Amino acid sequence: MSRTAFIGLGNMGSGMAANLAKAGVPVSAFDLSAAALERAASNGCTARASAAAAVADAEVVITMLPAGPDVRALYADQVLPNAAKGALLIDCSTIDVDSARAVAALAAGQGFRFADAPVSGGVMAAEAGTLAFMAGCEAADFPAVELALKPMARVVIHAGDAGAGQAAKICNNMLLGVSMLGTCEAFALAEKLGLAADRFFEIASKSSGQCWSVTSYCPVPGVGPDTPADHGYAGGFATAMMLKDLKLAQEAAARAGAATPMGNAAEALYALFAAQGFAGRDFSAVLQMLRGELGALS
């Protein structure tokens, strides 16, 4: 088992590092938060006093940080100057494609192998070790990346070269944001037309409107499998997280010259929903805004 440094032990990183330790991987952990570090130690990781100390003797370095500037700064100031020669560096944060490519170039310039490997699946999947990783790295490095991520993964997919993992992540989540809004609109219209939600669920699940937002994550309480809608839209995938990913997609689209009018509309609708105080609710709660029933959320 490769000696692994894990930096960023928040909602996601905590469960991920715990699963590595559970699999017998020696994990050197660091987080700016003392509470997060303590939790990692109680989960079988070795707490280190700094990122520099955590990476010093690691063969693999994994990071799970909030945003692009955090990743750029951590790699430039702590990881690259202190990591052992030949270490494999893997950033699992969701960040902008440009930052991922910039860090990859910096790492390659100093002789490190680097992968951007963001995840699909939330905190529950992080804790269960069932995340889907999409990796951007040199094809020759992928087997080592896959091996390092395996104890935390349901699947690890090679997306392409540097930045391709982040590109896959934001395209997937833009599609999810759009499909969830479409699903919510359809259920809201069905209700106005006097169609029972459970009937529409059954029909849409077996018709051409079928999609993950309908069948696996139905936004209507009491309809379909158990989802955050059945728990007051608590937990799940927060609106703030969806909004972050939609903004990343719009920034990338603007730079790449891609037309993404549906993604643009989704960003505007989720921004409106978040601004009304619902940034912490699951993203499927946007149904209640479209129904004109925001009161149902308080």
Q: How far is the CB of 226 from ligand NAD (least distance, A)?
A: 18
Neighbours of 236 (CB within 10 A): 20
How far apart, in whole angstroms, are the C-alpha atoms of residue 50 and residue 39?
16
- What are 220-228's contacts with CB under 8 Å, separation 24+? 220/187, 220/287, 222/197, 222/198, 223/197, 223/198, 227/284, 228/282, 228/284, 228/285
Q: How far is the CB of 28 from ligand NAD (least distance, A)?
A: 12
Q: Which is nearer to ligand NAD, 7 or 60 (CB)?
A: 7
192 is catalytic: no
Pick out residues in 21-80 that bind ligand NAD (CB under 6 A): 30-33, 36, 51, 64-66, 70, 74
Q: Which is nearer to ligand NAD, 6 or 187 (CB)?
A: 6
Ramachandran category for residue 8: left, alpha or beta (phi over 0 → left; psi -120 to 50 → alpha)? left
Q: Which is nearer to ligand NAD, 32 or 147 (CB)?
A: 32
How far apart, in whole angstroms, are the C-alpha atoms of residue 179 and residue 176?
5
* 9 in contact with ligand NAD (CB under 6 A): yes
How far apart, in whole angstroms, are the C-alpha atoms of residue 191 and residue 184?
11
Number of chain positions touching ligand NAD (CB under 6 A): 26
* 155 in contact with ligand NAD (CB under 6 A): no
How far apart, in whole angstroms, are the C-alpha atoms of residue 141 and residue 145?
6
Q: Where are the alpha helices (DSSP H) in the chain?
A: 11-22, 34-42, 51-55, 68-74, 80-82, 97-109, 123-128, 142-149, 164-192, 197-205, 212-215, 239-256, 261-273, 286-290
Pick out residues in 123-142 that bind ligand NAD (CB under 6 A): 123
Q: How far is the CB of 221 from ligand NAD (least distance, A)?
A: 21
Q: Which of 169, 192, 244, 247 is catalytic?
A: 169
Q: How far is the CB of 116 from ligand NAD (least distance, A)?
A: 11
How far apart, in whole angstroms, are the C-alpha atoms of residue 222 and residue 231?
10
* 4 in contact with ligand NAD (CB under 6 A): no
Q: Which is nearer to ligand NAD, 9 or 176 (CB)?
A: 9
Pick out residues in 256-295 that bind ligand NAD (CB under 6 A): none
Asked if residue 145 lies in contact with residue 157, where contact means CB atoms within 8 angstroms, the answer is no
* 94 in contact with ligand NAD (CB under 6 A): yes
Q: How far is the CB of 199 from ligand NAD (least distance, A)?
A: 32
Which residue is closest to ligand NAD by CB?
10
Asked if residue 114 lies in contact with residue 103, where contact means CB atoms within 8 angstroms, the answer is yes
* 6 in contact with ligand NAD (CB under 6 A): no
Which listed range, 8-16, 39-47, 134-142, 200-208, lies at the site for ligand NAD (CB under 6 A)? 8-16
- What residues act catalytically? 169
Residues in contact with ligand NAD by the rule CB under 6 A: 7-13, 30-33, 36, 51, 64-66, 70, 74, 93-94, 119, 122-123, 237, 241, 244
